[in-house]
A = this chain, B = another copy of it.
Amino acid sequence: MAARGEDKDKYEQGLDKNPANYLALTPISFLDTTTQAFPDRTAVIHGETRFTYTELSARCRRLASALQGRGIGVGDTVALMAPNVPASLECHYGVPMIGAVLNPINFRLDADAVAFILDHGEARVLIVDKEFSGVAKAALEKVEERPLVIDIDDPLEPVGELIGETTYEDFIAGGDPEFNWRRPDDEWEAFSLSYTSGTTGDPKGVVFHHRGLYLNTFGMIVEWHMPAHPVYLWTLPMFHAMGWCFPWAVTVLGGTHVMLRRTEPKATFAAIAEHGVDYMCAAPVVLNMIVNSKAEERAPFDHLVHVMTAGSSPPAPVIIGMEEMGFEVLHTYGLTEVFGPMFVCAWQDEWKALSREEQARMKSLQGVLYSTFEETVVANPPDYGPVPSDGETMGEVLTRGNPILKGYLKNPEGTKKVFEGGWFHTGDLGVRHPNGYIELKDRSKDVIISGGENISTIEVENVLYRYPAVLEAAIVAMPHEKWQETPCAFVTLKDGKTATERDIIDFCRDNLAHFKCPTKVVFGPLPKTATGKIQKFQLREQVKGM
């Protein structure tokens, strides 16, 4: 017998992985465990339609089987251009069930962008809701090779041309409801392809893997402390960063997916009141829309509705307004590249002693790392040492963890750049507070440099949002002879409210260092992406022409 400590590999010998104790992680399997536990619970509500988990599972298997019947399989791309309808949810299971890769497309893109995505992703199938068949048809005229086109002929969408070879319902009717799905050979296999909004140049195709989506599904549940059987309202477009993993998180918990074709205040309130919705996700712009909704759009409800928000910091008046209406806001921060949120503004008990405004300010911080992620620093090249936790020194937010993209499809340069130095680069600039919370100050490309001083556009916007007449605000850099750049404000006013450029600049000067104040204010509606993000690149174009 070897002396102790010499037999180092005793824990490796005869203890190999086998088919019983090592299976590729995939979020597909959550549908099976929940269907076995809660076969008759309502999985999906869509208008008058209800599907139990048994029915949802059968529909996903039919879709997988029907796709396989058309020769679709491992590594093939299936594109989806649809709002939050049952078929969209089913694609999040049925497509990966055969090893194919789901490519949800932003349905607000124009035909050129859609054609680019279909070609770049080499889509072999396009499943398209008839609401968007006009754009899809135009895009299909431009693509190099036409995919199989399947129409979602949703009875809740009365108009729209059918442009495909078959309808979704006819297509899946031919599939096997007991189809045995294929577990990936390796959990690193591609699950999906999501194109970033592409504020400059061609969009980049973010490739996700089964492992990361599986893990962040638990991340969402654990960080939001979700209970059994949530009633989840699909206010967040499912195409956005895989619906932040809620196609799976709601399912693991045996919850109900309440579908919503359009995120409007009236439909949102109606779903909360009628179905007892208690969980939903939304960009701050949607929260703003809810807070500023008209009395006749609202419906009373008497339970707490948990709202997870991400995308930009929710302004304090919006958080306070939401809470006064019965919503509990949790602020998170992430990117398409990390399957949605990866930081959470975790509540600290000592904040109870703060005023409502101070609480809202704390809640607007980006927060601390999800437990499903591993490491983060706020740091700067070339050595990426952490900046001091002083709430002042800016650096780029860098992370490491498993729920992070494989890379960009057919874009080795972009992939190399985003992983430079062994970190995932968010491209967001922030600070770290003494309590460890990070706070974003800007996208690295948005920051304004005025007379050599950095100006955080977010900081200026937060002041603008505190001005009572302001509904929405955005700051971009405007070229300036003396200072190189100065802030230019774009502002939308609330219905019935008025303000002059002078009023707004004066308010800023009362609340900010003068060099940070806008030198110009433009009034009017703001251009937005499908997910409610203000499109600053369009505002920059506008500034150039001024």
Q: Counting CB contacts under 8 A, is A75 at the interface?
A: yes
**Closest residue on chain B to residue A118 by CB atoms:** B4
A190 to B7 alpha-carbon distance, docked (Å): 14
Copies in the complex: 2
**Closest residue on chain B to residue A248 by CB atoms:** B371
Nearest CB in chain B: distance from A502 CB, A: 44
Which of B20, B21, B38, B122 contacts A4, CB < 8 Å?
B122
Known: A36-B369, A145-B3, A424-B21. A15 touches B346 (CB 8 A): no
Q: Is the CB of B406 within 8 A of A10?
A: no
**Closest residue on chain B to residue A400 by CB atoms:** B20
Q: Counting CB contacts under 8 A, is A374 at the interface?
A: yes
A50 to B528 alpha-carbon distance, docked (Å): 51
Q: Is the CB of A370 within 8 A of B33?
A: yes
Which of B5, B9, B29, B409 contacts A124, CB < 8 Å?
B5
Which of B23, B374, B409, B436 contacts A23, CB < 8 Å?
B374
Known: A1-B144, A10-B75, A75-B9. A20 touches B424 (CB 8 A): yes
**Closest residue on chain B to residue A376 by CB atoms:** B36
A22 to B424 alpha-carbon distance, docked (Å): 11
Q: Is the CB of B14 within 8 A of A407?
A: yes
Q: Counting CB contacts under 8 A, is A285 at the interface?
A: no
**Residues of B close to A400: CB separation below 8 A:** 19-21, 23
Q: Which of A74, A346, A399 has the most CB of B within 10 A?
A: A346
Q: Is the CB of A75 within 8 A of B436?
A: no
Q: Counting CB contacts under 8 A, is A391 at the interface?
A: no
Nearest CB in chain B: distance from A535 CB, A: 28
A384-411 contacts to B, CB under 8 A, are: 399-402, 404-407, 409-411
Q: Counting CB contacts under 8 A, is A422 at the interface?
A: yes
Q: Counting CB contacts under 8 A, is A17 at the interface?
A: yes
Q: Counting CB contacts under 8 A, is A477 at the interface?
A: no
A122 to B10 alpha-carbon distance, docked (Å): 10
Known: A5-B71, A10-B409, A33-B368. A20 touches B415 (CB 8 A): no
Nearest CB in chain B: distance from A41 CB, A: 8
Q: Is the CB of B36 within 8 A of A368?
A: yes
Q: Is the CB of B371 within 8 A of A11?
A: no
A33 to B342 alpha-carbon distance, docked (Å): 12
**Closest residue on chain B to residue A412 by CB atoms:** B14
A240 to B406 alpha-carbon distance, docked (Å): 38
Known: A18-B422, A23-B400, A400-B20. A30 touches B371 (CB 8 A): yes
Q: Is the CB of A124 within 8 A of B75?
A: no
A14 to B413 alpha-carbon distance, docked (Å): 10
- Interface-side segment among A218-226, A286-294, A447-455, A505-513: A218-226
Q: Counting CB contacts under 8 A, is A373 at the interface?
A: yes
Q: Counting CB contacts under 8 A, is A39 at the interface?
A: yes
Q: Counting CB contacts under 8 A, is A419 at the interface?
A: yes
**Closest residue on chain B to residue A143 by CB atoms:** B4
Known: A402-B25, A419-B20, A422-B19. A39 touches B436 (CB 8 A): yes
Known: A20-B423, A29-B374, A76-B5. A11 touches B189 (CB 8 A): yes
**Residues of B close to A411: CB separation below 8 A:** 14
Nearest CB in chain B: distance from A509 CB, A: 37
A12 to B144 alpha-carbon distance, docked (Å): 23
Nearest CB in chain B: distance from A190 CB, A: 4
Q: Counting CB contacts under 8 A, is A213 at the interface?
A: no
Which of B38, B76, B406 contacts A346, CB < 8 Å?
B38
Q: Counting CB contacts under 8 A, is A354 at the interface?
A: no
Q: Counting CB contacts under 8 A, is A460 at the interface?
A: no
Nearest CB in chain B: distance from A367 CB, A: 8
Q: Counting CB contacts under 8 A, is A8 at the interface?
A: yes
Q: Is the CB of A402 within 8 A of B222?
A: no
**Closest residue on chain B to residue A190 by CB atoms:** B11
A412 to B14 alpha-carbon distance, docked (Å): 6
Q: Is the CB of B252 within 8 A of A37?
A: no
**Residues of B close to A23: CB separation below 8 A:** 374, 400-402
**Residues of B close to A412: CB separation below 8 A:** 14
**Residues of B close to A227: CB separation below 8 A:** 225
Q: Counting CB contacts under 8 A, is A123 at the interface?
A: yes
Q: Counting CB contacts under 8 A, is A188 at the interface?
A: yes
A400 to B7 alpha-carbon distance, docked (Å): 30
A410 to B13 alpha-carbon distance, docked (Å): 8
Nearest CB in chain B: distance from A209 CB, A: 8
A272 to B366 alpha-carbon distance, docked (Å): 35
Could you list 29 examples of A-B contacts with CB < 8 Å?
A: A10-B75, A11-B189, A11-B406, A11-B409, A14-B407, A14-B410, A14-B415, A20-B419, A21-B212, A21-B401, A21-B402, A21-B404, A21-B424, A25-B215, A33-B371, A33-B373, A34-B371, A36-B368, A36-B369, A37-B368, A39-B435, A218-B221, A221-B221, A221-B222, A222-B252, A225-B226, A225-B228, A225-B253, A228-B347
